[in-house]
């Protein structure tokens, strides 16, 4: 009997990790998303859409014009114009006698037409990222270096910039990117031009090497030297520099849903990684707690994943808020980010079902994501 089992084990067909991932997602996301799952599933199995994060450090002034000639547009600038237009519309409404509500920050006031929600907050950012219109599957050509060897733009999932925008870095902020590799969000944080100090950390030494490569390809030496790159276990960060940062980005390891259904290499659904996958929510919670503890009172933490799973998204947020209060006497609350849906709905498809935070759903006409992000404010 033992020999028979050995023979069976040696000859039994191995189910690819990508298929295991798809079976898992069918079972869990179909009840979650209902009839939308088929559209999301189709998008996950098709080529991902990218954005071109413009590199402000490169001396290539013609890059933006060339991208615009190919019908790409800076979706962040478009959202900023939309926010300004909505704000002006609400001010016109106020002049006609509708209600005025205090904003509650620095004594400023935001006017709001009676019976409506407040206008979206403006997007204040120096970040520029070009995308092609909905339904346009044109690919960006590889970036080219300027005279100093710095590349003109970085290709990434444009939805990955939403957590950085939500962090809303202000001038001279001390910023921590807790799980920084491979480096796209770190590069975006530098594009804000606002970081007083940026700490970029990742537990993986091999991934940290990739982060160094990104920085050397896009960032001049004098700016790179101002970024501290480390390879600590992010769960221990509070013991190293607790209560130090104004803003913390916690872009945690997750099931990376799109990668899991498309790529065999390093797939979290490989059978030998089953235990690791099951422990992901615990790891994510520990990293988020570390991020909260690393934040100064009055600071902000943005948590993000590239998964559709509520177990890795809202449930982690809810548990972290509870633990921060009960075990550390730290009060945090999740901020309302619904204005992101209003401002960026022309570029991304958003879920309307998140209890906390926002979720970008992949769609064939706008094949970005999935990206989940939620902003916590530490009192």
Which residues belong to the active site? 306
Residue 202 is assigned to a ligand binding site: yes
| Residue environment code for 67-87, b if the CB has 16+ CB neighbours within 10 A, otherwise e | beeeebbbbbebbbebbeebb
Closest CA to 330 of 262, 265, 266, 377: 377
Closest CA to 122 of 76, 54, 187, 186: 76
Q: Are strands 100-102 and 358-361 parallel, antiparallel or unpaired?
A: unpaired
Residue 119 is assigned to a ligand binding site: no
Residue 353 is assigned to a ligand binding site: no
CA distance 363 to 134: 10
CA distance 252 to 347: 24
DSSP secondary structure string for all residues of 135-181: T--PPPPPP-B-TTS-BSEEEE-GGGHHHHHHH---TTEEEEETT-T
Residue 173 is assigned to a ligand binding site: no
Closest CA to 157 of 26, 2, 52, 282: 52
Residue 336 is assigned to a ligand binding site: no
CA distance 368 to 347: 9
Q: What are phi and psi for residue 267, nearest 5 degrees?
A: -85, 125
Residue 58 is assigned to a ligand binding site: no
Q: Which residues pair with 59 in a beta bridge?
A: none
Give the ranges where 219-332 is alpha helix by DSSP (H).
221-224, 237-241, 257-262, 274-278, 280-294, 314-328
Q: Are strands 358-361 and 51-54 parallel, antiparallel or unpaired?
A: unpaired
Closest CA to 369 of 182, 168, 226, 157: 157
HSE toward the beta carbon, residue 265, CA cutoff 13 A: 0
On whether the CB atoms of residues 268 and 256 are closer than 8 A, the answer is yes
Residue 251 is assigned to a ligand binding site: yes
Residue 181 is assigned to a ligand binding site: yes
Q: Which residues pair with 4 in a beta bridge?
A: none
**Residue list for the binding site:** 179-185, 202, 233, 251
Please give the annotated binding residues for S-adenosyl-L-methionine, written as ranges: 179-185, 202, 233, 251
């Amino acid at each position: 009997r033992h020999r028979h089992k050995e023979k069976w084990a040696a000859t039994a067909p191995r189910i690819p990790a990508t298929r295991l991932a798809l079976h898992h997602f069918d079972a869990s996301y179909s009840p979650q998303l209902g009839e939308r799952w088929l559209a999301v599933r189709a998008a996950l199995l098709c080529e991902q859409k990218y954005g071109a994060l413009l590199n402000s450090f490169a001396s290539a002034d013609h890059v933006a014009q060339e991208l615009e000639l190919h019908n790409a547009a800076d979706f962040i600038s478009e959202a900023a114009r939309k926010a300004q237009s909505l704000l002006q519309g609400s001010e016109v409404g106020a002049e006609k006698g509708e209600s005025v509500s205090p904003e509650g920050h620095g004594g400023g006031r935001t006017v709001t037409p009676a019976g409506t929600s407040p206008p979206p907050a403006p997007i204040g950012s120096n970040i520029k990222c070009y995308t092609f219109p909905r339904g346009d599957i044109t690919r960006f050509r590889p970036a080219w270096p300027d005279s100093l060897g710095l590349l003109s733009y970085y290709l990434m999932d444009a939805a990955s910039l939403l957590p950085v925008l939500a962090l809303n870095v202000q001038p001279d902020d001390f910023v921590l990117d807790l799980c920084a590799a491979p480096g796209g969000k770190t590069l975006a944080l530098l594009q804000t031009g606002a970081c007083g100090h940026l700490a970029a950390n990742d537990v993986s030494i091999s991934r940290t090497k990739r982060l160094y490569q990104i920085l050397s390809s896009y960032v001049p030496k004098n700016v790179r030297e101002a970024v501290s790159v480390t390879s600590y276990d992010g769960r221990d960060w509070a013991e190293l520099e607790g209560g130090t940062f104004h803003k913390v980005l916690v872009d945690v390891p997750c099931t990376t849903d799109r990668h899991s259904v498309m790529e065999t290499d390093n797939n979290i659904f490989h059978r030998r990684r089953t235990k690791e996958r099951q422990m992901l929510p615990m790891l994510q919670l520990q990293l988020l707690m570390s991020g909260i503890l690393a934040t100064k009172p009055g600071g902000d933490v943005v948590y993000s994943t590239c998964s559709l799973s509520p177990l890795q998204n809202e449930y982690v947020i809810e548990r972290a808020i509870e633990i921060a209060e009960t075990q550390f006497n730290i009060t945090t609350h999740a901020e309302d980010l619904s204005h992101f849906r209003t401002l960026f709905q022309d570029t991304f498809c958003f879920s309307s079902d998140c209890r906390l935070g926002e979720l970008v759903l992949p769609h064939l006409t706008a094949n970005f994501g999935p990206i989940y992000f939620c902003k916590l404010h530490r009192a």
